[in-house]
Amino acid sequence: MHHYQLGSKRKPCLVILHGWGIDGGNYQELAKLLSDNFFVLVPDLPGFGKTPEPKQAFNVSDYAKEVQKWLKTEGVQEAYFIGHSFGGRVLIKLSQLSPDLVKGLILTGTPGIERFQWKRSLKRLLYGVAAKGLKMFSFVPAVKRLRTRFYRSRDLGKLDGVMKQTFLKVIKEPLLRSAQAIQKPTLLLWGNRDQMTPVGDAERMLQIIPGSYLKIFTRVGHRLPYEKPHEFAREVIQFFT
């Protein structure tokens, strides 16, 4: 697994797991800010960045096992973790599969344990119907942009092959029981303008994860860790040290 590393190995290890559609390179500034206090590892998860796609479709558990296996080869027996969006899904599952590996965790913009809401489900269904109806007119730029907004996730429209099947497996895997099983210090960092994973989902997670804490940042959305790396790093250092 390709990865970036910053800081001294004599310091506590901190692993950053990236979101879907990006890779470890997006977190370089954040990693640099944290490297004075931690030995920072930022992998490109399978199918992203410089790490090859898996040979068959992965689910969240498969990704967690790959992270577990990779850290073993790196000689890491325990670490602090940051999981952003999709990376947070992996971290929740990793905390259940290997609780001794995870000393503490920070989740940011992480989906997967939303409360069922009939309005949201109906909205997604209508968006799906509208997206298919607009397909024949997608050669018109304005319609193409509108159709993109109608997708349940813009990521899905860009995928094919094994990564498309992986994406579908990832979003369908339930994480409620895994989140309830977390017994390590947990901090939730959220942007108040996050439209992909609204603050309401963070508040739901706060109720589910025992002894967790929530801090909400203003004037920022889903890209919080790399749009406000200085403010984010300050919270990480304060929580873990």
CB-based contacts of 196-200 (< 8 A; 24+ apart in sequence)? 196/85, 196/109, 196/111, 196/221, 196/222, 197/85, 197/109, 197/110, 197/111, 197/222
pLDDT score recorded for residue 116: 47
Report how far Cα 88 is from the mean position of its chain's Cα atoms.
4
Whether this model's pTM surpasses 0.75: yes
Q: Residue 117: which region, alpha, beta or left (left: phi > 0; alpha: psi -120 to 50)?
A: beta
pLDDT score recorded for residue 133: 57
pLDDT score recorded for residue 121: 42
Q: What is the arrangement of strands in the sheet containing 3-6, beginning at the earlier edge strand?
A: 3-6, 39-43, 13-17, 79-84, 102-108, 186-191, 213-217
Walk along the chain (241 residues) in steps of 10 and give the mean pLDDT of each run. 97 98 97 98 98 97 98 98 98 97 98 61 48 55 53 60 95 94 97 95 95 97 98 98 91
**For 46-199, where are the E strands, in sequence order?**
79-84, 102-108, 186-191
